[in-house]
Homo-oligomer: A and B are copies of this chain.
Amino acid sequence: MGTTKTIHFTDEQNELATLAKAIGHPARIAIIQHLIKVNSCICGDIVNELPLAQPTVSQHLKELKNAGLIKGSFEGNAICYCLDENGFNKIKNFFQYVDKHLENQKNQCC
């Protein structure tokens, strides 16, 4: 196998999983952190920042983009990337939901 049984889960569960999975790699965390640090958008700089070859970085950027976590726009012959609030808002809601529960259940666990 190796194949996730997405059919048996709800769209919401699959979407949240896809978002979390996209974030679940140190290189992609580093990309997100860098995009926050430099405030405005960047592109080939990300390749210089990361300890990975250009095709690998390109692949990671693609995954983040597919998940709706970053967006890129052409700027001359380069591409400017920045965070996409669409994806982040979706997970943010999930974590707020979890957090609300954790507050209520403090020290009441089994």
Instruction: List chain A positions with a Cβ less than 8 A from chain B.
Output: 4-6, 8-10, 13-14, 16-30, 32-33, 36, 39-41, 51-52, 71, 73, 75, 80-83, 85, 88, 91-92, 95, 97-99, 101-102, 105-106, 108-110
Inter-chain CA distance A52–B7, complex, in Å, is 12
Q: Is the pair A82, B105 in contact by a Cβ cutoff of 8 Å?
A: yes
Secondary structure class of chain A's binding surface, majority of residues: helix
- Assembly of this chain: how many copies? 2
The 5 closest A-B pairs by CB, nearest first: A21-B24, A41-B110, A80-B110, A9-B26, A8-B51
- Among B8, B17, B32, B102, contact of A29 (Cβ-Cβ < 8 Å): B17
- Among B9, B21, B109, contact of A82 (Cβ-Cβ < 8 Å): B109
